[in-house]
A and B are shown apart, each in its own frame.
Chain A
Amino acid sequence: MENLGSVALILAFCFAVYSVLASLIGKWRDKPFLTVSGQRAVYTVFALVSAASGILLYALIAGDYRLSYVASHTNKAMAIHYKFAAWWGGQEGSLLLWAFLLSAYSAVVVFTNRRKFRDMMPWVISVLMLTEAFFLMLDTFVLSPFQVFEAGRGNIVNLGDGQGLNPLLQYWTMVIHPPMLYLGYVGFTVPFAFAFASLVTKQPGDAWIATTRRWTIITWLFQTTGIILGAGWAYAVLGWGGYWAWDPVENASLLPWITATAFLHSVMMQEKKGMMKVWNMVLISGTFFLCIFGTFLTRSGVVSSVHAFAQSSIGKYFVAFLAIGIAGTIYLILDRLQYLKSESHLESVLSRESSFLFNNLILLASCFAVLWGTLFPVLSEAVTGDKISVDKPFYDRINIPIGLFLLFLTGVGPLIAWRKSSFESLKRAFLWPTVLGASLMIGLAAGGVRHPYALVSFGLCLFVATTVLMEFYKGSRAISAKQGKNLLLGAIELTHRNTRRYGGYVVHMGIVIMFVGFTGAAFNRDATVEVARGTETDIGGYHLKIADIQDGENDNFAWDKALVTVSKNGQVIGTMEPERRLYKASKQPTSEVAIRRRLNEDLYLNFAGMSADNTKAVIQSYVFPLVSWIWIGYWVLLAGTLVCLVPPKVRLQYARTEVVGIAGKHATVEK
């Protein structure tokens, strides 16, 4: 079986290369036969990579422990969905997942555009398949997932059972977090391919943007979801209550997310006014290369990280791919500058356009700060020879002010009209949001909140929330007044007319809610206590009583568990059971954290272990105010993004110019 898998991968690699050649030569020599066979090769690659993935999955699930990949990442005791997840649990398999997702995306792209963009498609296919060939090359010639254990030549060893997946990763979000992130990472190849093709073939309009708009939004959503799932996992599983540690690999997933967010905004400038074409090219290319760069960071061992796969030699291939790709893209953009000229100018400095400039500046600045912090240890060691650490305090100090300014812009942008705004209308628009935000800050300060960033953050959150709600209110009032509907129906009608804008506002609302959750971290409290049965202790208004400490074991793990009675203001409000397990196969301990999730704060108990003399249990107790709002904010963001994807109600009905001869004939334009 594994030989068949290898054959499929080698064939897929060959067909990916063939697809590039056939598409380009077919276009160059104008041989439609070749371009069509280049398209078909994309389907073939998809089929072959699917076959290889299927074979690997079969081996993982059936337990073919002759394969070193299977033996290193699964064992017999694992539940079937974790065996499935082992597909991306290791280096080789996750490279195969990359290749599989990209081939699937490519097949979808080729199919949906099979009758469109005769000019661009060969180049789109070439970019997609070159990237595909790169990953297939790694999976075929460098790190094959179908490697078997050999003792001597040709003497295959069956280990009988494997080492299993790290028990920390045996948690439900871990089954979907990596593929979600990959769906995001890989997906940005498609808009990049279209942008590249549009540039190579000197397209006059920006069809690539219209074509890939949905694609970009969906990809962005996948990536957001992946990041949030990772955060949720860290919070619920790792036992220290954090959801973001500024680890290099986390940063690597954040970088393309930031540039993609910037792209989603600045692309509106191009659509509305035909401006910033070069910049949008740079952003989408940057996003794509940051995705590759992120994959590289995770795998090369360049920076040390919790998440990194075992170090391997594949770093140099990534460096080569990135260097060639970036150089080629820069050359192409410079060479085509005259096709990227602006079609219009700024009517006024005080306009939505300018606010987009600042939005992009701040997003890119935070992207740079994160990238800089991630790479600085490497740079410093190379230049001065000193190893240094860049941890949370650095990122917090740099990114909190940047993040708050971004939040401020989130509120300001939508209030400024496109093209031209006067101070008068701005004053009117800003009055209430500013008054409300400022009063909240004053109120909180009077109420004893002394944390400056937290004050500013809460004030801004209310400021932005007010602007968003006002947008909805004013718009739906106008509609309901005109059509005699009630306000709610008016709001729905309003959103349906311009799903992208109002969906976007909902996304902003989600971000605001998440910021509320982030800000709660300024008020975290924690205490670590050694307890025996009957011990009582306090944390942040909660009174904890250790009712019992139990232990036991089963086939898979041994466990210690504390039964903690929680009371507040003298009232018993529940029992929590933090637990600690020691998995037998891997000899690895894990925490089963007990979390009492409420909207105002989470009470979080972690059974950290037994005391040195093994008589007492060590319980780490935390109070995390407002943390639930991060997850709620995500759901709002998700809803908003989905709204953006709904096709807007038929947008325009306008008479064609009467010269056509049929006066008043209505042309309906759907977008």
Chain B
Amino acid sequence: MLFAAAVLLTVGAIAYTLFVRDKDLPQPENATGWEHLEQRKVRIYEQLRDLQFEYRVGKLSDADYQTTKTNLQTELAAVMQELDKRQGTAPPPPPAPKPANVCPHCGTKFPSAMKFCGACGKEMA
């Protein structure tokens, strides 16, 4: 009885461990090779967000905020560039010129940037 149980235990253990069918084999992992860059990107975004929050809370001086923000953005841009390189995508187009606050047509000044001139109605950009 005891002997039978021992044999059963042994055979069961061996069978379970060694009997691997084809369908038990794992599917190939679709590793891209740049997960760590994606991960870094996410982390830097997270730090940027955190920085903004701390600034809003009043834990940072303006100067500290600006320096750190620039540093983080540079780091992030570098990571994104690297990612684009690996993924074979082109970097983003140069940013569109910012909407101005002086109308190029009639010359009226506005306190903030606008798309259309409030005086002459023409496009400001």
Contact = CB atoms under 8 A, between A and B. Distances in A.
B106 interface: no
Contact of A474 (B16, B50, B59, B63): B59
B42 A204 contact: no
A86 B29 CA distance: 46
B17 A7 contact: no
Given A114-B26, A424-B61, A205 B49 contact: no
A533 to B, nearest CB: 62
A422 B61 contact: yes
Contacts of A660: 89
A48 B13 contact: yes
Q: Is the interface of A mostly helix, strand, loop or mixed?
A: helix
A2 to B, nearest CB: 10
Contact of B29 (A43, A118, A420, A429): A118
A666 B57 CA distance: 27
Give the residue among B10, B46, B53, B80 with the most A Cβ atoms within 10 A: B46
A210 interface: yes
Interface stretch (B32-40, B97-105, B109-117): B32-40
A197 to B, nearest CB: 15
B9 A7 contact: yes
Contact of A478 (B18, B43, B47, B53): B53
A419 interface: yes
A344 B64 contact: no
A189 to B, nearest CB: 21
Interface in A134-187: none
A44 B26 contact: no
Nearest to A117: B29
A11 B9 contact: yes
Contacts of B53: 475, 478
Given A11-B10, A659-B91, A18 B17 contact: yes
B67 A36 contact: no
Contacts of A474: 57-59
Interface string B6-40: 10011001001110100011110101000111011
Contact of B40 (A1, A274, A419, A425): A274
Contacts of A417: 54, 59-60, 64, 68
A7 B25 CA distance: 30
A271 interface: yes
A335 B84 CA distance: 32
B25 A272 contact: no
Contacts of B40: 205, 274
Interface string B74-93: 01000010001000011111
B86 to A, nearest CB: 11
Contact of A115 (B29, B36, B50, B93): B29
Contacts of B58: 474
Nearest to B22: A33
Contacts of A98: none
A425 B50 CA distance: 17
B108 interface: no
Contact of B20 (A4, A36, A425): A36
How big is chain A's contact interface, by range?
35 or more
B17 A420 contact: no
Given A4-B9, A474-B58, A421 B64 contact: yes
A205 B35 contact: yes
Given A115-B29, A474-B57, A478-B57, A657 B35 contact: no
Contacts of B2: 1, 3-4
Contacts of A32: 25-26
Interface string A638-671: 0000000000000110100111100000000101
B49 A652 contact: yes
A11 B64 contact: no
Interface residues of B, number: 51
B84 A41 contact: no
Given A3-B2, A47-B13, A659-B92, A33 B20 contact: yes
A15 interface: yes
A357 interface: no
A347 interface: yes
A524 interface: no
B2 to A, nearest CB: 6
Contact of B39 (A210, A415, A651): A210
A498 B46 CA distance: 10
B73 interface: no
Contact of A37 (B10, B17, B71, B90): B17
A44 B17 contact: yes
Nearest to A32: B25
A237 B24 CA distance: 54
A659 B89 contact: yes
Given A37-B17, A205-B36, A272-B47, A671 B25 contact: no
Contacts of B37: 205
A420 B31 CA distance: 36
B72 to A, nearest CB: 8
Nearest to B5: A4
A8 interface: yes
A265 interface: no
A651 B18 CA distance: 44
A131 to B, nearest CB: 19
Contacts of B56: 478
B92 A420 contact: no
B97 to A, nearest CB: 17
B39 A44 contact: no
A27 B100 CA distance: 61
A11 B17 contact: no
B36 A204 contact: yes
A115 B49 CA distance: 32
Nearest to B3: A3
Interface string A1-35: 10110011001000100100000000000001100
Interface string A174-216: 0000000000000000000000000000011111001000000
A8 B92 contact: no
A40 interface: yes
A474 B55 CA distance: 11
Given A274-B40, A659-B84, A671-B42, A420 B16 contact: no
Contacts of B16: 40, 43-44
A419 B9 contact: no
Given A36-B24, A115-B26, 7 more contacts: A1-B2, A3-B2, A37-B20, A205-B36, A206-B36, A272-B43, A419-B68
13 contacts: A4-B2, A40-B16, A40-B17, A207-B35, A207-B36, A274-B40, A415-B59, A417-B64, A418-B50, A418-B68, A419-B71, A422-B61, A651-B46
- Listed from nearest, the 4 A-B pairs whose CB atoms lie closest are A205-B36, A474-B57, A7-B6, A419-B68
